[in-house]
Amino acid sequence: MKEQTKWFNEPLETIVRSHNTEQGLTTQQAQELLNEYGYNKLTEQKKQPFLIKLLNQFKDVMTIILIIAAFISGVLLQEWVDAIIILAIVILNAFLGLYQEGKAENALEALQKLAAPTSKVIRNGQEVSVSSEQLVPGDIVVLEAGDLVNADVRLIQTSSLKIEEASLTGESVPVEKDATVLVDDNAPLGDRVNMAYSSGNVTYGRGLGVVSATGMQTEVGRIATILSETKNEQTPLQKQLNGLGKILGIVAIMACIGIFFIGYLNGKDPLEMFMTSVSLAVAVIPESLMTVSTIVLSMGVQRLVEKNAIIRTLPSVETLGSTTVICSDKTGTLTQNKMTVVEHWLNQKEDLKHQLALGLFLCNDSRYNAEGNWVGDPTETAMSEWAVNNGIDYQEDMRAYKRVAEVPFESGRKRMTTVNQVNDKLIAFVKGGVDEVLKVTTRYGLDGEIRNITQQDIDTIQHENRRMGEQALRVLALAYKEVNHPVKDGDLNLESDLIFAGLVGMIDPARPEVTQAILECKDAGIRVVMITGDHATTAAAIGREIGLLEEQHKVITGIELDQMSDEELYNEVESIGVYARVSPEHKMRIIDAWKKHDNIVAMTGDGVNAAPALKKADIGAAMGIVGTEVAKSASDMILTDDNFATVVNAVEEGRRIRDNIKKAISYLLSCNMGELFALLLATLLNWDMPLIAIHILWINLVTDSLPALALGVDPAEAGIMDRAPDRNHTLFTKPMAWRVLYQGIMIGILTTLGYMIGRGWLFGLDGSLEQGRTMAFAVLGFAQLVHSLNIHSPHDSVFKTMLKNKSLLQAIAINAVMMLGVLLVPQIQNIFSLVALSATQWLLIALLAMMPWPIVEVMKLLKFNGRD
């Protein structure tokens, strides 16, 4: 296990002699080696120091403008208190951003650990599944079709093993592996057929090997040391928010330039107008939107973990909410993944049932683990359980009837073959789909006599096949023959001239919650399609039982799909409800056809053959329990309970997240519009500014922090899954634009009225400029807090939704206390250039601040509030 050892050049006998391949490592040995070699993972890029992260918070243009404004205020105007306040707010915003980014980063790191791949190893004489990070040199690794190779491995046993190594060697064709070959000392990676390298995908067969290198000592690790980190691309939502921010930035700059020059032409002090304009630019641009979106997405990801869905990438959360079509596998997703053999057919004496049970038991890769459970493919575990219940002794018969060769199952053949030593004979057992087994069957047993199979025999078998299929049973056939010549792994000639043995029918019951989930999808405008390898009759029966297949929907098979052109499939895809007996290529075509209809397609799957479709779909959902590592790696989401209802829950969460981000946008923009309107109106009327720079900065801090974040965790609206999917490609819709406009003007008018009252221009009250600004500041801050409660719903009354989000109520309370502290504490009053107010003025502030409620309520009642 030295780093310089060339394992591929070591004879197989030497490797086997130096390792306990039967028992593997002990727990203590594994721990000692883990301490010596470290975790099996690539070295992560060094995290930025805290200081660098903090400085990055000051890189955006608006923050730089604020810093310049603070410099001018302090150095040029000698307003050191104002400068200190501005800098304090800038620093506070920077730390807030730093905290929020750290929180999102930690959430994603935790999820990455949850989604880490696993490996099957032999330890303490038992096959166990461990996190791939726990692999150590010397571990005995079990490799099967569908597994990822998670470390460099010297193979010691191979059975038709093929591994795709394109990511490492660039060779597109899977490489045939042979543990017995001694590779030349100078052989390149692609020619080292006795090795399996980290990042490879097992596409065929089985193997056993000794881990030779882990982590950065693997071939992939060596390459990783010279690669630079790939920058993360912005998610679609982030791009939409960024585009929105740029537009708002342009609008804000134009408005601020206008305010500056109008004020200057009206004789206002240029430096004062400069400070006001810069402050307004910060107020108008919702700087916290990007941070809010990241936090909302990460919190949504955490919520989905609790609902049995691990989201591997943040963009998946965004896309989920817009899903319009779900292409679902049947077994284990729509059903319970607990297959049970409930019927068999022999067409001959029942005493031959033992032969059928023995064949199904031996032609089988399921295993009985230490916990007392059958593990492996659900169909094979069902057959093993049935065989044991019908006289097969697991331990005794497994030892007595040794497997000497095999042809593993492949999706193209849909058959599996094993050759076993049965007494003094070599018997080849072949199991698979009824049609596929009949293709290679030439003989038939009846009443103890073996004869050539006739068309009548085939018709009888197919009749029984259809009869079981109509009962929603999955039907498999078994055939066999005696072999009188030497055999080798992968010999397809073994699958010829077979004797038909019998049929078994098994059922995987529908999950009890699936029917309701299908109904919810229909109410949500989401089409659910079944794609399965089962027979059409079986698939249709399950589809009708759960409400997926309706009268107007067709059921087609892979053969029929082959006869359709892409254009024909495009025209027919919306009328097809179930696809049966399909191949990986078929799944790709189905997804393509739906996408051409401008649909967002989600795909569920578990096997190697599903990986291309999982990758091609907008959302690929892999099964966490029975799913292969290849499928999980190709997916965007992993269902830890293999349950279709979890996909529906994820779609609902995606819709909630998108809704809440739109709420945050609506809230922030309407508040900023109010500030802009009040200042613009005062400038046009040649008034003194109702708000100075520090006021706007403080209001901006209050309105852009807790309430916006609290709206991001709003519960889902009632009926969120009763509406059609959101097909808008923008977050800023026309109804939202209307709400932002009129609600912003509303807040601006209320702020202006407060200013006018404080100046003594209304109701005959005494006033001053300081009192006017104090009242404008108070009305603006409290009115925005009150207005946040209107944002819960564009149509439901605030009295119905007020208590739905306790986090928002807490945010309002905290920010109200902060506002009162600024307004009432004399020392803070002086810093903000505020003054004490009379009881009458406070009463009027309260009245004006409450006005957003009745105004928006009336607009909702009159259906003038705009509805997305």
**Residues marked as catalytic:** 329
User: Dihedral sign, CA of 18, 24, 29, 30?
Assistant: positive
Calculate the alpha carbon distances from 561 to 191, 479, 570, 579, 590 in Å.
39, 29, 11, 9, 9
For residue 128, the cross-strand partners are 121
Is residue 257 within a helix (H) or strand (E), and if so which, with residue range?
helix 236-265
| 671: exposed, middle or buried (Cβ count in 10 Å: 0-12, 13-18, 19+) | buried
User: Dihedral sign, CA of 277, 280, 286, 288?
Assistant: positive
CB 165 within 8 A of CB 171: yes
- CB within 8 Å of 488: residues ≥ 6 apart: 405
Could you give the 3-state DSSP secondary structure of residue 865?
A: coil
Q: How many other C-beta atoms lie within 10 A of the C-beta of residue 704? A: 26
Give the whole-angstrom CA distance, residue 56 versus residue 63. Answer: 11
Residues in the chain: 868
Of 734, 730, 713, 736, the C-alpha closest to 660 is 713
DSSP 349: -
Write out the two tokens for 65.
């403008």
Give the whole-angstrom CA distance, residue 416 versus residue 422. Answer: 18
Dump the DSSP string for 417-430. EEEEEETTEEEEEE
Give the whole-angstrom CA distance, residue 384 versus residue 421. Answer: 19
Dump the DSSP string for 752-766. HHHHHHHHT-STT--
Residue whose token pair is 């307003």: 79
Give the whole-angstrom CA distance, residue 332 versus residue 325. Answer: 19
CB 149 within 8 A of CB 196: yes
Of 747, 746, 750, 768, the C-alpha closest to 759 is 768
Of 79, 109, 397, 366, the C-alpha closest to 71 is 79
